[in-house]
Structure 1
Amino acid sequence: MSLLETRNKKFNVPFIFIAGVIFLFGLAYFANYIENLGKDAIDLELPKTTESETNSTSITVRLAKGEITYLDSTQINSVELKENIKIKLDGQPNPTILLHADEDVSIDKVVDIMEFANKNTYKVILGVRSK
């Protein structure tokens, strides 16, 4: 076989081989992209808490099943609740109410306390206790 004969022959490469090579290059590119994407996410800057935020006064209000209300783990009448909250939080730095409500408690009671806190510029942290 001479050099002239081999130059005129067609070089047949199966399609599956070409597709496999393209797939592997794409996979390598995608893996590199994902690796670099993770590096960008690490540079997240979180907000710092200030001294005034750590010096806050908080009380815990728990709304339990069956119209039972607790203020700092002491059972209290729901009529006296708002008055006692005002007594404990007025004049305090960053007053906060930690509001825990059982799942069975009416949403109206939760919203009522949240509106009261908003009107008096108290912060509210809401938690729901499941069954």
Structure 2
Amino acid sequence: MIPVFVYGTLLTGESNHHVVASYVRSVRPGVVHGSLYDVGAYPALVQEHSASGRMVEGEWLLVEDAGLIAMDELEEYYGPGQSNDYERVWIRDAADESLEGWVYVWASSRGCPLIDKRSWREHCSSRSRQ
């Protein structure tokens, strides 16, 4: 089983959760250091040091090996040193250091707007009210 932190469309109930749903064996809430950026239909996470104080809420999914393969395909991650859209890096939960695993990140914002919320769901909810 492989732990993966998700924060956007792969969250339970969100538009791309079906990609991984059949491989998920457990789900736990989590939070990591970083900032979310609005790419339009989905977010991107940029890791930050704890000193910045910015946090992102999401879920820790425990998935079968095939689930990680399915997520790699969705996130256009082809492996270390490849021309990836997202990089897959190892991360630790900011509130519970016993939780750690993979997460898909961007190295920078790529010019996308910062999401001022800790949660993609909260951001989407506030967008729909505007």
TM-score range, shorter chain: under 0.3
- Decide which structure has greater strand share: 2
- Decide which structure has greater helix share: 1
